[in-house]
Amino acid sequence: GSSHSALNFGAGPAKLPREVLAEVQTELLSYQDSGMSLMEMSHRGKEYTKINNDAQKAIRELLNVPDNYKVLFMQGGGTGAFAAVALNLMNRTGVADYAVTGTWSSKAAKEAAKYGKVNLVFPKADKPGSIPPESSWTLNPDASYVYYCDNETVDGVEFPFIPTSPHGVPIVSDMSSSIMTKKIDISKFGCIVAGAQKNIGPAGVTVVIIREDLLGNPMKICPTVFDFTVISQQNSVHNTPATFSVYVMEKVLQWIKKNGGLQAMENQSQDKSKLLYEEMENSNNFYSCPIDENCRSRINVPFRVGGPQGNEELEAKFLEEAEKLKMFQLKGHRLVGGIRASLYNAVTRDEVALLVKFMKEFRAQFS
Ligand code: PLP
């Protein structure tokens, strides 16, 4: 047995800071001595109103969100946001540009195609793992927006740049797995969407950051709960929000602030992922990452064991031995196989160092 507690490398829902969960625990039965749980309180009462406003404020502070952007809390997850983006933003021209770099942007493009014309800005690769240089993209001047997924959680592909449109078309990004892991310049975006359940909270709330001038033009068929304009006008309480999820998220945001903000999160994620990529580098292909070096994710690190194609028996053994050491949720996504270590903000450097130590020992035994 090992002396450490469970190490959670899951892709999402993912590890949350223990301090935050402990605080939730102390308040669970009686929020601020009210004798009621926060989850039992009205979303229009003073307690939740403060949480809603504080969470928005924390996001604005952490990401330095300019005044001409709104911060919204919605439901429907990342998948709901795939539809919501098209329903709210595609009406201007009926066409949108999509950069498909992996599983989630592919799903987003398919969803958007239900509501309008989707143009792929480069041919979809058979096997994701690279991002074609921006100079080779076919960007449509008539597109309502250009869409990309900043970090492909399944594939382990992260954008090393923010795309721009020579035509001034707004940039839309899915940042579900990378939000709050690095500093970003919000003014370069028309809209950012992110499910909370990886870096900033429990499942149930989706954060939308949207430039004000893009509001006000949803498709007629847009469901009210997905209507950015309505949700914005009603300060994210048009209908009952995921109050408990927003409450926990607000605490995670304060935890990020307390722990050095986005610069610290960025440094830490660089550092953590480097430990893993270095071990792969040193392993003589015993561990190998199928992703081009310039777009390897700092957040979700996929790799094969026993050669570049992976040896499924060794990979099963790897997972089994890892679990004996209480290292959990390392199995790669069912679509890509292999191993995937997710290194969200709550995963510490020490935890990653323990994983790398195990990888070295496993390699010594089986290579
Ligand atoms: N986008 C990204 C980048 C994701 O990682 C995920 C989920 O893992 C999704 C979208 C889909 O989110 P949801 O499961 O909340 O619909």
Best residue among 73, 74, 75, 79 to mutate for probing ligand 1, ranked by most atoms within 8 Å of CB: 79
- DSSP single-letter state for residue 169: P
pLDDT in tens, 280-318: 999 999 999 999 999 999 999 999 999 999 999 999 999
Q: Is 77 in the pocket of ligand 1 (CB under 6 A)?
A: yes
Q: Establish if 353 belongs to a structural domain.
A: yes
CA atoms within 13 Å, Cβ hemisphere of 222: 27
Q: Whose structure tokens read 């561990």?
A: 287
Query: What is the 201 CA–ligand 1 centroid distance (Å)?
Result: 13
In the structure encoding, which two tokens stand for residue 236, read together? 């994210």
Q: Which residues pair with 287 in a beta bridge?
A: 305
Q: Is the CB of 102 under 6 A from ligand 1?
A: no
Atom of ligand 1 nearest to the CA of 175: 3
Number of compact structural domains in the chain: 2
Structural domain span for residue 361: 260-366
Confidence band for 51, pLDDT divided at 50, 70 and 90: very high
Structural domain ending residue among the three candidates 207, 229, 258: 258
162 and 215 within one domain: yes
Residue 1 pLDDT level (bands cut at 50, 70, 90): low
What is the SS3 assignment for 359? helix
261 lines ligand 1 (CB under 6 A): no
Give the model confidence (pLDDT) of 78-121 as tens digits: 999 999 999 999 999 999 999 999 999 999 999 999 999 999 99
Judge if 266 and 354 occupy the same domain.
yes
Residue showing tokens 């870096």 = 199
Verify that 232 and 329 share a domain, yes or no.
no
CA distance 11 to 13: 6
Residue 139: alpha-carbon gap to chain centroid = 25
- Cβ–ligand 1 distance for 153 under 6 Å, the answer yes
Q: What are phi and psi of 348, to 5 degrees?
A: -85, 165
Q: What's the angle, vertex CA 110, arms to CA 156 and CA 335, rounded to 5?
A: 40
Q: What is the pLDDT at residue 160?
A: 97
Specify whether the backbone of 261 is left (phi greater than 0), alpha (psi in -120 to 50) or beta. Answer: left
Confidence of residue 266 (pLDDT cuts 50, 70, 90): very high
Q: Which residues contact 186 (CB under 8 A, 6 or more apart)?
A: 63, 64, 65, 66, 69, 192, 209
Distance between CA atoms of 216 and 308, rounded to whole angstroms? 49
Residue 15 lies in a domain: no
Please tell me if the CB atom of residue 79 comes closer than 6 angstroms to any atom of ligand 1: yes
Does one domain contain both 288 and 204?
Answer: no
Tokens of 300: 């979700």
Is the confidence at residue 126, as pLDDT, over 80?
no
Sign of CA dihedral 245, 298, 257, 61: negative
Which residues are known to be catalytic?
104, 174, 198
Average pLDDT over residues 193-215: 98
Claim to verify: residue 269 and residue 215 sit in the same structural domain: no
- Mean pLDDT of the chain, nearest integer: 97
Mean pLDDT (whole number) for 237-266 = 98
Which regions of the chain does DSSP assign to beta strands (E)? 7-8, 69-74, 95-98, 117-120, 146-149, 151-152, 157-158, 171-174, 191-195, 206-211, 287-288, 300-305, 327-328, 339-342
Q: Are 88 and 193 in contact (CB under 8 A)?
A: no
Distance between Cα 175 and ligand 1 center (Å)? 9
pLDDT higher than 90, residue 39? yes
- 124 pLDDT higher than 90: no
Residues 275 and 329 in one domain: yes
Residue 240: the pLDDT is 98
In a domain, 166, yes or no: yes
> Tokens standing for 105?
């942007």
Q: Are residues 96 and 196 in the same domain?
A: yes
